[in-house]
Amino acid sequence: DSGVTQTPKHLITATGQRVTLRCSPRSGDLSVYWYQQSLDQGLQFLIQYYNGEERAKGNILERFSAQQFPDLHSELNLSSLELGDSALYFCASSVGIGLAGERVQFFGPGTRLTVL
């Protein structure tokens, strides 16, 4: 158990819908990262937050957004869902973003999204 929690574990929805994925980082971790894992794209970085502020964006679609709240949990919002958005979405957290030891990321169990 990494200490990172994600809910829900599974999500099945229809095209055009909107969903919210939730992540709670390990106690004391300030940085949260979101990744998407799909068969064709592999593991892709989506977005990073540090202490409530967005720090980096990767291959994140405009239909997707995220935020990190004052209690440091994070939510990933996916809207106007398409079949191709079906994937496993992982959240990871790290203590910080400075020293090498602080940047080690620990992953949650993931949310499997199926868009029908």
Partner 1 sequence: GDSVTQMEGPVTLSEEAFLTINCTYTATGYPSLFWYVQYPGEGLQLLLKATKADDKGSNKGFEATYRKETTSFHLEKGSVQVSDSAVYFCALSAGTGANSKLTFGKGITLSVRP
Residues that bind partner 1 (CB under 8 A): 2, 31, 33, 35, 42-43, 45, 48, 50, 55-56, 58, 90, 92, 94, 97-101, 103-110
Token duo for residue 101: 């030891």
What's the closest the beta carbon of residue 16 comes to partner 1, in angstroms?
28
Tokens 């405009």 label which residue? Answer: 62
Nearest CB to partner 1, comparing residues 36 and 115: 36
Nearest CB to partner 1, comparing residues 56 and 83: 56
Other Cβ atoms closer than 10 A to 18: 11
d(CA 45, CA 20): 18
Tokens 């971790």 label which residue? Answer: 29
What's the closest the beta carbon of residue 27 comes to partner 1, in angstroms?
17
